[in-house]
Chain A
Amino acid sequence: MIECNNLTKIYGSDDTKTYALKDVSFRIEKGEFVSIIGPSGSGKSTLMHILGALDNPTSGKYFLDGKEVSALNDNELSDLRRNKIGFVFQSFNLLPRATVLRNVMLPLIYCGLSQAEKEKKARAVLLYAGMEESKLQNLSNQLSGGQMQRVAIARALINNPAIILADEPTGNLDTKTSQLVMEAFRELNQKGHTIILITHEMDVANYANRIIHVRDGMIVRDEKNNH
């Protein structure tokens, strides 16, 4: 499903060369729930950008569903992100003056679907992600943090992606809401979605079934987690 071979990412030129990633290799199978944990500066964000097709490695190869992502051009990367990857961000990144429905439909624009079809899909996925029917026409900036993150999760799910990438999804939430959101991720995983979670908090990482520890651009530990 996901295969990374010797991923290396270097920032800066000759003198100021810094290795964000050094020779990282791992595999993630379909249906896994993986946490990538490490302190800031460990290279976990860089890793997530590469996994999310937002950035390319300096060297090494990244295969998603057998396709080499590191060899794609800008448009192909866009298409890949749209069809195979769902993002959930720390700061939600919702369009503030748009309704919940519109936000969730955002990845569907320019896909040739009719407005009615898009709304139907968005509604279904919102209910699936645990959003209340009554809130679908609300503007997204009128929601609570937990609700916003549910909307973001619904947006990530709308194209039925191969993987869901969550970058510190609880970073802006209080403990109680964090738990609710993490429960939501666990439920999604139980329904068969592959989830990769980036975090620096052990509590959050613990929801996953596998934890990859990253430090100084290298994987220091890769362990099963049996809660």
Chain B
Amino acid sequence: MFLDLLRETIWSLMGNKVRSGLTILGIVIGIASVITMVSIGQGAQKSISDNIESIGSNLIIVRPGAQRSGGISSGSGSGESLTLEDANIIKGQLQEVKAVAPEISKRYQITTKGNNTNTQVIGTVEDYLTARNIKMESGSFFSDQQIKSSAKVAVIGPTTRDDLFGIDVDPTGQFIRLKNMEFQIIGMTQTKGGSGFSNPDDAVYIPITSAQHYLSGDDFVSMISVAVTEPSYMTSVQEEINTLLLRQHNISDSTQADFSLMNQNDIISTATSITTTLTMLLASIAGISLLVGGIGIMNMMLTTVTERTREIGLRKAVGVRKIYINLQFLAEAVVLTFFGGAVGIFLGWLASLAVAKFANMTTEVSLSSIFLAFGVSAGVGIIFGFYPARKAAAMSPIDALRYE
């Protein structure tokens, strides 16, 4: 019985290769385009959020507030209000804090024997590694002792190393010149990949005290990164830092605060909402092709209805029961859509790989897009393949045989 059904189905599909082929093509195009488009959108989303997360996880960034003089604000981050003392207080008083890394950063010209480059020089402390998720490739980061003594030591990023010493050279022990002072390199960080404006691979790290003494000449820091132990503490820690610093800076009105706090989750959610919009855009373009594919499938199924209705009438007249006619047409629609679906998924996956390889974009094929695309085209195919057949099978055989 099942074999008969299978044989009839296959014969029927093979008997009209053009019709079957076009139907499958519609399904393939619909599904493949949805999968590819959504994979590009989701890839973009993932690479952006990865980028943000690579800065470190559960970070709260404290930046100096706007410098105010006579009611004129010169913008947030420009003020000089944060000091090492603030960082120490945060570290000393808050338990849910994993690492506190104050930093002073500015671009300088760095020279070695015969080479020079312009890069970000970051004066910071050991906690910076924890806060920013940076690991050492070789050598070591500067110790508390070296920070206390304002040692002229430096840790460099791999990109800076490439610029100054060449690829695959171990820079440990070498010297670099910075503002006419020699700093000895004691280590190099691991490659982390660029993350937008501040590339952790292209930087020189020195003790924060050295940066204050030899470079900036004052006691201020340009940013404090606070890493929180658990994501759930983010909000409470942010509030505590706020209270702590307001008290520390003797400010009673929180709207007059001379610092600002930025929560990494806020950045991620902003970025996510942007990329979600992007994904939606791509998905709606893909949705249109799915719609077009669906209409193609529908057309194929409906235009053959006249011919198929006569066939159904004949089958009924020679004594095939209605249930078998229904089953056969359902099986035909299922085979067509599933075959087209499988090819479509494969092609879509292939296309997103190709995009990743040749357009150098991150793509991510998501299960939900596969299900969505497959569901829609399979639904259209099955409904429009099966429903007219069901109607025809319910007709009297005579009417079906005479159907025009």
Q: Which residues of A contact B (CB under 8 A)?
A: 49, 52, 54-55, 74-75, 78-83, 85, 87, 89, 93, 95, 97-98, 102, 106-107, 109-110, 112, 115, 155, 159
Residue B316 at the chain A interface, CB threshold 8 Å: yes
With A54-B396, A79-B321 already in contact, the answer to whether A106 and B401 are too (CB < 8 A) is no
> CB-CB < 8 A to B315: which residues of A?
106
Query: In the complex, what residue of chain A is closest to B323 when comparing beta carbons?
Result: A75
Query: In the complex, what residue of chain A is closest to B1 when comparing beta carbons?
Result: A110
Cα-based distance from A85 to B318 in the complex (angstroms): 8
Q: Can you list, as one digit per residue, whether each of B301-331 has a CB less than 8 Å from chain A (1) or not (0)?
A: 0000000001101111111111110000000
A106 touching B321 by the CB < 8 A rule? Answer: no
A54 touching B397 by the CB < 8 A rule? Answer: yes
A95 touching B314 by the CB < 8 A rule? Answer: yes
Residue B94 at the chain A interface, CB threshold 8 Å: no
> CB-CB < 8 A to A79: which residues of B?
319, 321
Cα-based distance from A106 to B8 in the complex (angstroms): 10
> CB-CB < 8 A to A102: which residues of B?
11
> CB-CB < 8 A to A81: which residues of B?
316-319
Cα-based distance from A87 to B15 in the complex (angstroms): 24
A54 touching B317 by the CB < 8 A rule? Answer: yes
Q: Can you list, as one digit per residue, whether each of B392-404 has a CB less than 8 Å from chain A (1) or not (0)?
A: 0000111001000
CB A84 to nearest CB in B, in angstroms, measures 9
A95 touching B318 by the CB < 8 A rule? Answer: no
Query: In the complex, what residue of chain B is closest to A156 when comparing beta carbons?
Result: B318
B316 touching A78 by the CB < 8 A rule? Answer: yes
Q: Which residues of B contact A (CB under 8 A)?
A: 1, 3-5, 7-8, 11, 15-16, 310-311, 313-324, 396-398, 401
CB B389 to nearest CB in A, in angstroms, measures 15
> CB-CB < 8 A to B396: which residues of A?
54-55
With A54-B396, A93-B314 already in contact, the answer to whether A110 and B320 are too (CB < 8 A) is yes
Sample of 15 further A-B pairs with CB below 8 A, known A54-B398, A82-B320, A107-B320:
A49-B398, A55-B398, A75-B323, A78-B319, A78-B322, A80-B319, A82-B319, A87-B318, A93-B317, A95-B314, A98-B11, A98-B15, A107-B318, A110-B5, A115-B7
> CB-CB < 8 A to B398: which residues of A?
49, 54-55
CB A7 to nearest CB in B, in angstroms, measures 16
Output the residue of B1, B11, B321, B323 with the most chain A CB within 10 A: B321
Cα-based distance from A82 to B147 in the complex (angstroms): 98
Question: How many A-B pairs with Cβ below 8 Å?
Answer: 67
B4 touching A74 by the CB < 8 A rule? Answer: no
> CB-CB < 8 A to B397: which residues of A?
54
Cα-based distance from A87 to B315 in the complex (angstroms): 11
Query: In the complex, what residue of chain A is closest to B8 when comparing beta carbons?
Result: A109
B11 touching A106 by the CB < 8 A rule? Answer: no
Cα-based distance from A97 to B15 in the complex (angstroms): 6
CB B49 to nearest CB in A, in angstroms, measures 55
> CB-CB < 8 A to A87: which residues of B?
317-318
Cα-based distance from A80 to B317 in the complex (angstroms): 10
CB B298 to nearest CB in A, in angstroms, measures 23
A106 touching B7 by the CB < 8 A rule? Answer: no
Cα-based distance from A189 to B15 in the complex (angstroms): 36
Q: Ordered nearest first, which 6 A-B pairs have the shortest CB separation?
A: A82-B319, A97-B15, A81-B319, A107-B318, A78-B321, A109-B4
> CB-CB < 8 A to B8: which residues of A?
109
Cα-based distance from A109 to B11 in the complex (angstroms): 13
CB A16 to nearest CB in B, in angstroms, measures 19
A78 touching B320 by the CB < 8 A rule? Answer: yes
A93 touching B401 by the CB < 8 A rule? Answer: yes
> CB-CB < 8 A to B321: which residues of A?
75, 78-79, 110
> CB-CB < 8 A to B313: which residues of A?
93
